[in-house]
Copies of this chain bind each other. A is one copy, B any other.
């Protein structure tokens, strides 16, 4: 099952040449999820050859402009381009008001159903679930209410050994039973052992998206052992005071929390406009957590 994330924006609030505000596309088994939607996300989707009509679910972490200002334009364009299938948006309740007032004054009546689900930033909760994936909120600490999102693959079915299945002429219902990890007994009482005909599925993978937050260590329980952690790293550690004042994290702190949470890899993003060169932020995080990477525009990371 495909499970990767493509970065559409790596910058924080103020604009920088050739960087874009937060937005990511998670591809889970060819279903596209948009995580945050800063200004210009539509253009970034075009640039990265991602069809916006394929997105059916959008998650917005909080109501600072660099995380949601591209949403109204994207939703409007999908409408103008003839979308009829539903779109689901998860975000703070007030986002609905912001969307509604703009649709009202532009006299836009969407041709497609827009389902809005309000998140809360007090306790983690599962907000989305389908056959492949479960999404739960991560409670972050920012200047305004803010949640991260944790995407967890569901346990996959066991892999069948096609050759053995065919050679032994296992009945179809037997295959389904054994894929779930149970032995199967046919009408004549013959027992098929699941371990003979199937092998263990790959372990479910998980992705945690943490932006923006004070590095308060409270959410560490939620991100423990994830395969990939995206964590904001707005400042270098020499600006720890500024990071704390503005409820942000330094690159060093991002590395420390990744280490402590024992994650597989760390993706760094949400860089302050003051940094023209991002290598120093990467090196700072790598000094404590070597498998750190810069989450730059256009890059795709396997989770």
Q: With the chains together, A95 CA to B39 CA distance in Å?
A: 18
Are A105 and B101 in contact, with the CB atoms below 8 A? no
Contacts of A92 in B (CB 8 A): 105
Q: Which of B13, B15, B40, B73 meets A65, CB within 8 Å?
A: B73
Q: With the chains together, A111 CA to B66 CA distance in Å?
A: 18
Could you tell me how many residues of chain A have their Cβ less than 8 Å away from some Cβ of chain B? 36
Are B63 and A14 in contact, with the CB atoms below 8 A? no
Rounded to whole Å, the gap between the CB of A46 and the closest CB of chain B is 5
Are B144 and A106 in contact, with the CB atoms below 8 A? yes
Contacts of A64 in B (CB 8 A): 106
- Nearest opposing residue in chain B for A94, CB measure: B105
Q: With the chains together, A14 CA to B43 CA distance in Å?
A: 10
Contacts of A43 in B (CB 8 A): 15, 17, 20, 40
Contacts of A16 in B (CB 8 A): 46
**New contact pairs (11) apart from A98-B101, A105-B144, CB-CB < 8 Å:** A13-B76, A13-B77, A13-B80, A14-B77, A14-B80, A16-B46, A17-B43, A17-B46, A65-B73, A94-B105, A97-B105
